[in-house]
Structure 1
């Protein structure tokens, strides 16, 4: 027996699941007549009736239900295997971004890009997981790090600055700390560069830190809820400072050793959608850095006055 054509089997699976010839034909971009012809050819080849046609649509016979049960999962597996490759189409753009940067920086700007490119399908994955470009799922990623990753291109978007921030709830009824008193307050996330902060601006580390977190987004939330003081990244904390949920404690700031980068594999240089996103992203990042918005907002004058310490010039 000759092999049954795959296109006839695909037509059968689509029709069986749609239970309607017209809907199935639309999904396959066929005429109803062409679809019916494929079904008849398949029935003749197999020697069984696959559908019972009625006024309310199609219903599979016992043989049709059995055939769908046996071959349907295989078509699903083929679709799943092809999905990563389909994402490389020029009109489909898949980007990974850290949740903290996605919510605080990218999302407020993304509507502009979507409006400029209405024919693009933009897929955003917010995750702290390492991106493996070999699986073909993503065209690029926004990452915070040293700027050197094997096998990919990393382009600097903007640098980051650090300074201690706290919730107004934590400061309520208390005199804000001086620089040399910071270690006496509840501090968060010992994995952050607190030792470098104390070395640069004075004071000493606490004997213990209150809590540590696996990602920056959760750290920001904990700080805003009053759990303790964190060494906030200016880019991420700015919206919370502007909304009054966080307070910058000192005019001092420290340049982070890491920065924000656009990372992508070589194949993305041939992806028109990604190249459009890359060009737009660099314009946004340049304007953001030129405006100084990646630097911390100034500490309130009352905080500096109560602290009893003279503001020091920021050190780069």
Structure 2
């Protein structure tokens, strides 16, 4: 076997850790087909199948896992050794945020940030994948959770509520069905591991259905299933508000329930001395405070779950 180019191994490590060929190609400034071709070259040189390719991304084979374990830490060591020689731009900020909060909340507000701070260059990654701040050149992230991320600093932005939502077309099809009697409606299983429908019925009464019309595994898929009229979903109000305002989703009834999760600004300690990060952080906290003051009147009838 001829010597394997280090560039192929480096791209392999990058793809393996991201688990997404498209995102890896974007970060490497390559096309997906070019990067896929490189990985086929690597597999041919090693005479091993390293990836299983599927509709939701790529996963490592057993031999792929063994290769990552063997070479990954060496590339980490190289990156760590070279990091001190790279000039850090304090007018550029790399931010990661999930697609839901990016499109519904963050993106409409970014023009205000850039108008007030035209010197700031914002590199935004819209992805649901959690950032590995040790390995990725990302300064901060906006994430949904309970504020507990080991080794990272987190600052709460605002809370979240859930309520049953359905496409306007489904509401029209259901005719005179009582929006408060969810037993009459097709329900979509919640992707939360504890199934938030159980919490909903425990508080507002009734019984969860014996059979959901469908189950999905991500919040994005849940929102899309509701938009397509598949059934009623428990929607997050913060990220669903723009769709509700546009009439694409309808809240069934006027009952809302708070959840223990909230939206947070999350960042590693190294970002504290980044001037661009300081500017963004101050702006984001002010926007979050303004949003909470102006938030629609969702008055849940219970304490958070």
| Normalised TM-score (structure 1) | 0.65
The alpha-carbon distance between structure 1 residues 245 and 266, as it changes in their structure 2 partners (threshold 3 A), is same
| Normalised TM-score (structure 2) | 0.67
Q: What does residue 110 of structure 1 align with?
A: 110
Q: What does residue 315 of structure 1 align with?
A: 302
The alpha-carbon distance between structure 1 residues 219 and 83, as it changes in their structure 2 partners (threshold 3 A), is farther
Q: CA deviation at 1:153?
A: 0.6
Map 1:82-231; keep pairs closer than 5 Å: 88-173=88-173, 174-179=175-180, 181-192=181-192, 193-231=196-234
Give unmatched runs, 5+ long, in structure 1. Answer: 1-77, 299-312
Q: What does residue 38 of structure 1 align with?
A: none
Distance 2:183 2:85 in 1: 52
Distance 1:209 1:85 in 2: 55
Equivalent residue of 1:155, what SS?
Answer: strand
Q: What does residue 268 of structure 2 align with?
A: 265
The alpha-carbon distance between structure 1 residues 109 and 271, as it changes in their structure 2 partners (threshold 3 A), is same
The alpha-carbon distance between structure 1 residues 158 and 88, as it changes in their structure 2 partners (threshold 3 A), is farther
The alpha-carbon distance between structure 1 residues 85 and 175, as it changes in their structure 2 partners (threshold 3 A), is farther
CA contact (8 A) 2:94 2:139 kept: yes
Equivalent residue of 1:200, what SS?
Answer: helix
Q: CA deviation at 1:183?
A: 3.2
> Once the two structures are superposed, what CA deviation does each residue of 1:126-183 show, in whole Å capped at 9, x if it has no partner?
111111111241100000001111000110000001111111110114124343x313
> Once the two structures are superposed, what CA deviation does each residue of 1:85-122 show, in whole Å capped at 9, x if it has no partner?
85842111000001100010000001111122212211
Q: What does residue 28 of structure 2 align with?
A: none
The alpha-carbon distance between structure 1 residues 220 and 154, as it changes in their structure 2 partners (threshold 3 A), is same
RMSD: 2.4
CA contact (8 A) 1:94 1:138 kept: yes
The alpha-carbon distance between structure 1 residues 83 and 266, as it changes in their structure 2 partners (threshold 3 A), is closer
CA contact (8 A) 1:88 1:136 kept: no
Q: CA deviation at 1:271?
A: 0.3
In terms of Rg, which structure is larger?
A: 1
Q: CA deviation at 1:314?
A: 2.5
Q: What does residue 70 of structure 1 align with?
A: none
CA contact (8 A) 2:191 2:218 kept: no
CA contact (8 A) 2:188 2:231 kept: yes
